[in-house]
Copies of this chain bind each other. A is one copy, B any other.
Amino acid sequence: MLHAVIMAGGSGTRFWPASRKDRPKQFLQLAADRPLLRLTYERLAPMVPPERIWVVTASSTVELTREILPELPSGNVLGEPVGRDTAACVGFAAEVLRAYDPGAVCLVLAADHIIGDEDQFRQAMIAGARQVQENGGLLTFGLRPTGPETGFGYLQVGDVCRTIDGYQVHTLSRFVEKPDVVTAQGYLDQGNFLWNSGMFAWKAEDLLSEIERQLPLLAEGLHRIGVAQGTGNEAAVLAEVYPNLPRISVDFGIMENAAVRWTVPVSFPWSDVGSWPALREVLTPDDAGNVSRGRAVVLDSGRNVIVSEGPVVSLIGVEDLVVVATPDAVLVVPADQAQKVKAVVEELESRGWDDVL
């Protein structure tokens, strides 16, 4: 049966002060009045019933996840004792799913992306799921690039093998790391490159076979977790095994050398909302190009990004700033320097101002 696995383990600092150690990006209401994780769930719910939607998140955010997604059976929220990168994450989910549904087909999705055309999204997901159900192999969804982006990895596609409901299934030639802008433009010009979106489809057993073949240490640990399912001893095994799993990404640890791999190009509006200025892509600007969430008064100001989690934010006579306010912390930074927020978080850590971390 078709399952959806939401990877909600991120813990970045790029959205400070809205994001905190115990409330990372996927729990923030960045694009709407619900958290990104909730939007991800709602995007899947018309396609997969709640009993077959799973979330993998940090142990510390399991309770918060259950509050945000009360429709899910509580056992569908899987807590990682520590983060061990995405290969461990998807393998963990696959072991648990297979224990309950040996023929499980999984869609694997990030918790913190914004997607504009949800019908198109679901049609593409179903096409990809059908491909792996019928043919096996590991499948990644690739976004048709709209510009020479240097912030994403790229996928080089091979031949078209099949078309399902209008979606082409290609073989996947190779993964390439984040390129410089000249290389990225070359990829665009060649036309056979896609953005690596981090959305996948596979049968649980096929993923686990690939892990066993390529990452035997990971497979061994995951197997112990799998056999503990239903024994009442799950938590203890997890706490013992998980911290020692090898740390590697699904792209480079599994996909890159998988025996059978596919990619389905998709072109729905998509953003990984990588930093505060990315909200310009997902919120509707006012006449002066300002985007805002929460209560704001903006006078004689243009092209600002304003996010409030409570306070009224007032801007007068400023341009191209990111201003983020919570009841206990405020950030003011030019949009083109927004990546420097990490330096603020480091400074807060060095000062021991843990109350706002």
Which residues does A use to contact B, with CB under 8 Å?
17, 295, 297, 299-300, 308, 310-318, 321, 323, 325-334, 337, 340-341, 343-344, 347-348, 351, 353, 356
Contacts and interface: CB of A to CB of B under 8 A. Distances in A.
5 closest Cβ contacts across the A-B interface? A316-B333, A317-B337, A327-B327, A314-B344, A325-B330
Nearest to A353: B312
B311 A326 contact: yes
Contacts of A318: 321, 332-334
A314 B328 contact: no
A311 B332 contact: no
B343 A312 contact: no
Copies in the complex: 2
B330 A295 contact: no
A325 to B, nearest CB: 5
A316 B330 contact: no
A311 B331 contact: no
A328 B295 CA distance: 10
Contacts of A329: 311-314
Given A327-B327, A327-B328, A316 B297 contact: no
Contacts of A328: 310-312, 327
A292 to B, nearest CB: 12
Contacts of A299: 340, 343-344, 347
B312 A333 contact: no
B347 A330 contact: no
A330 B344 contact: no
A330 B340 contact: no
A316 B343 CA distance: 9
A76 to B, nearest CB: 37
Contacts of A337: 300, 316-317
Given A17-B314, A316-B337, 11 more contacts: A297-B347, A311-B329, A312-B328, A313-B329, A314-B341, A316-B332, A316-B334, A316-B341, A327-B327, A327-B328, A332-B332
Contact of A323 (B17, B295, B300, B332): B332
A9 B355 CA distance: 37
Contacts of A332: 313-316, 318, 321, 323, 332
27 contacts: A17-B312, A17-B314, A295-B353, A297-B344, A297-B348, A297-B351, A299-B340, A300-B337, A310-B327, A311-B311, A311-B327, A311-B330, A312-B328, A312-B329, A312-B348, A313-B329, A313-B330, A314-B329, A315-B332, A316-B333, A316-B337, A316-B341, A316-B343, A316-B344, A317-B334, A318-B321, A327-B327
